[in-house]
Amino acid sequence: MMSSVEARLISGSDVSSEIYGELAQRIQALKSKSVIPGLAVILVGEDPASQVYVRMKGKKCEELGMKSVTIVLPRETTEKDLLAKVSELNADKSIHGMLVQLPLPNHINETNVINAIDPKKDVDCFHPANVGKMLIGDPGFLPATPAGVQQMLIRSNIETSGKNIVVVGRSNIVGKPMAAMLMQKGKGADATVTVVHSRTKDIASYTKAADILIVAIGKPRFVTADMVKDGAVVIDVGTNRIEDKDHPKGSRLVGDVDFDNVKKKASAITPVPGGVGPMTICMLMDNTVRAAENYAHR
C-alpha cells in the first residue's frame, strides 16, 4: 500500500554542510598548533570518472584551507614506480592522509599498493589493519561512503538500535563495511543486520522486512516499491548513468532504487544525486583531519 504522505528527503548536501562547519573549527585548532591537514591523491591513467572525483577532492581541500596534493601518473607507470611514490608520501610529514584512486590499470596489483600505504595515512580505510580495527569496533578511520551513510542516519534522528537493517550488496567498499559498522555497539549502530547480494534467492523477501534498507548493488532502479515495507527508511548508495532523450545531456543519473515510486511508500529516502554522494568526500575530509589530529598529538 502506498502512503498518502511522501517520504521526507535526507539530503547529503545538508548533512555534509553541517559536518564541514565542524571540520572548519577542527582545522583552525590544528593551524593554531602549526599543523595544516594535508591530503595526497595518486591517480594512475586518465579514467574520466576518477579525474572528476579527484578534482572534487582537491577543490574541497582548498575550500577548507587544507593542503591538497594531486599526483597524476601515466597509465604505463610500473607497480614498482607507484610503490616508490607511495613510500615517498608515507615519509612526507606534511601529508597526513593519502589515497590511491581505484581502479588501477590491470598490470598493477591493487592489494600490493593498498598494503604499502601507512595505515596511519590510509584515509580510504582499505588497509587490512584499518579494516580489522573497524571490524572489532576500534576504528582508526571509517570507510568514507559507509561512514557517510551512518552520519546521515544519526543526524536525521533515525534510530538504528534494535532495528532490522538490510544491506543490498557485499562490496568491500560499501556493503561489507556498512554491515560491520551497523552491528557494532554504539550510536548509529546496534542493529540486526542482513546482507543480501547477487546470489541471494528471493531478495525481496528480505528487503520487505527491513526497517532501514541500504542499497548498493550497482543496478539502476533495482529496488522497486513492491520490495519495500511501508514506512521504511531507504538509503540509496547507487549512482548509475542512464539514457534519457528528454534530458539536455541525453542521459541522467539515477540510483539503485526506483525513487519516484519508492518515495510514496518510505518514511524517509535519499535522492540521487544529492543524497549519499556528497557524503563520501565529506567523510574523506573528516578522516584526513582526524589523521592530522593524530599526528599533532603524537
Please list the active-site residues. Answer: 57, 101, 124
- Burial (Cβ within 10 Å: 0-12, 13-18, ≥19) of residue 47: middle
The order of strands in the sheet holding 38-44 is 67-73, 38-44, 97-100
Cβ contacts of 265 within 8 Å, gap of 6 or more: 1, 2, 3, 7, 225, 228, 229, 230, 231, 232
d(CA 242, CA 240): 6
Alpha helices in 136-254 (DSSP H): 144-155, 175-182, 203-207
Residues 139 and 205: their CA atoms lie apart, in Å, by: 33
